[in-house]
Amino acid sequence: MTYVPHYPTAFLERVEIPGRSRILIRPVIPQDADEFRLFVRILSGDSRRNRFHSTLTEIPETLLRALTNVDHNKHVALVAKAVDESGVIIIGEARFAREEEDSPAEIAIAVADRWRRKGIGTLLLHRLEISARRRGVEEMFGSVLAENVALIHLAFQTGFKLHTGDTTYGVVKMYKKFS
């Protein structure tokens, strides 16, 4: 098994989801690559477009490596896993990445279509914020497609400010400063 430096064990958590079985939230590791590829495949076309701002149907190998080989400091990624008829699968992911230790962190989040509206996105975003604060992040931001009403609603409900002034290419900016 590969050793993962700085693996944040504090973010291993089992959670009960209403109407479903338990899920596990934990940091991503390189061995998640195949499951992450499957996660991207099970997202609907609209969900993949919302997450990647692209109509990709298959995740390129270089992007897959970048998303599953994280340093757990400047790039933190959490996955939600559940058991379904095909076994244990990734059903959601949330991450932040920043260029430097003192720069704002860009976030991304996605939840598999059939697992939406169960609070998984909220759980992941909340855990991601805790992780960011522990690492000294002072601001998080993201670019959301204007038609991604679910994420815009989640952002608003969790205290993000939305900037809709310049929706170039149909993108809304969301940001949250920690005090």
In the chain, what are the domains?
Answer: 9-177 (3.40.630.30)
What pLDDT, on a 0 to 100 scale, did the predictor assign at position 8? 66
Q: What percent of the chain stands above pLDDT 90?
A: 65
Q: Give the CA dihedral 69, 71, 73, 74, nearest 10 degrees.
A: -70
Would you state the structure tokens that stand for residue 22, as one six-digit string? 């338990």
| Spatial distance between the Cα atoms of 24 and 116, rounded to a whole number of angstroms | 16
- Tens of pLDDT, residue by residue over 62-118, are 999 999 999 999 999 999 999 777 778 999 999 999 998 888 999 999 999 999 988
Which amino acid is present at 143?
S
Q: Give which of 174, 26, 12 is closest to 92, Cα–Cα.
A: 26
Neighbour order of strands in the sheet with 87-97: 13-16, 22-27, 75-84, 87-97, 105-111, 139-145, 171-177, 161-163
